[in-house]
């Protein structure tokens, strides 16, 4: 089995170390590398961290847009993408995805309801589901809701392709170690 993730971020930091502490080989994919047409990493999962569309936290959004075609092919060939909240009020911050997503940026703490039939529900196994931090919610998306707030706002959904998947969340917590180990492990890597 292969345990490998690409972390789309400007530099290493706590989240990079967290992935490695979960037993995942983590490759830093800077905006310059991600946007370069010659980049062809071999990954199980690509992780797009919280704040990817907020210039105070990251400069990765232009590179995500430049590599949107490769991202789509990566998922179609079996890759997985874990995308966190944009932390931006710009309505077009998810326009690099091949389906519509409308994200509403708002920081709040909530109780959540979880679709326990989805294996991705393990993402909050390390947390109290009555005390979850979120940085927004989704009002338009093409996918299956997995986690909602107590008042029905979708804070995580999944869009599957034949072989891969997009998992999009506005949970403002590190994913559980069990979830990361599972989501970033597969029988083979996929060419990005």
Token pair for 116: 């326990």
Under 8 Å between Cβ of 166 and 159:
yes
Total domains present in the chain? 1
Residuewise pLDDT in 10s, the chain (192 residues): 999 999 999 999 999 999 999 999 999 999 999 999 889 899 999 999 999 999 999 999 999 999 999 999 999 999 999 999 999 999 899 999 999 999 999 999 999 999 999 999 999 999 999 999 999 999 999 999 999 999 999 999 999 998 999 999 999 999 999 999 999 999 999 999
Token pair for 94: 């998810």
Q: How many separate helices (H) and strands (E) can be counted in the chain?
A: 5, 13
Q: What is the pTM of this model?
A: 0.96
Residue with tokens 């196994």: 125
Tell me the Cα Rg of the chain. Answer: 15
C-alpha distance from residue 174 to each of 19, 65, 131, 171 (Å): 10, 25, 14, 8
3-state secondary structure of 103: strand
Domain residues for the domain of 95 are: 2-191
- Cβ neighbors of 150 (< 8 A, separation 6 or more) are 110, 111, 112, 113
Spatial distance between the Cα atoms of 176 and 101, rounded to a whole number of angstroms:
24
Of 111, 191, 102, 107, the C-alpha closest to 152 is 111
CATH of the domain at 120: 3.40.50.880
């Amino acid at each position: 089995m292969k345990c490998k993730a690409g972390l789309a971020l400007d530099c290493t930091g706590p989240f990079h170390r967290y992935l490695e502490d979960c037993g995942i080989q983590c490759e830093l994919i800077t905006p310059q590398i991600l946007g370069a047409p010659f980049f062809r990493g071999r990954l199980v999962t690509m992780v797009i961290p919280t704040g990817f569309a907020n210039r105070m936290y990251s400069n990765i959004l232009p590179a995500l847009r430049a590599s949107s075609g490769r991202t789509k092919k990566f998922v179609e060939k079996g890759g997985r993408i874990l995308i966190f909240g944009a932390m931006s009020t710009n309505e077009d911050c998810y326009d690099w995805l091949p389906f519509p997503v409308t994200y509403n940026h708002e920081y709040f703490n909530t109780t959540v309801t979880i679709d326990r039939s989805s294996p991705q529900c393990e993402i909050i196994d390390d947390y109290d589901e009555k005390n979850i931090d979120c940085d927004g919610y989704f009002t338009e998306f093409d996918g299956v809701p997995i986690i909602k707030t107590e008042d029905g706002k979708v804070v995580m959904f999944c869009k599957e392709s034949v072989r891969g998947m997009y998992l999009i969340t506005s949970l403002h917590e590190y994913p559980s170690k069990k979830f990361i180990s599972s989501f970033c492990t597969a029988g083979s890597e996929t060419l990005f």
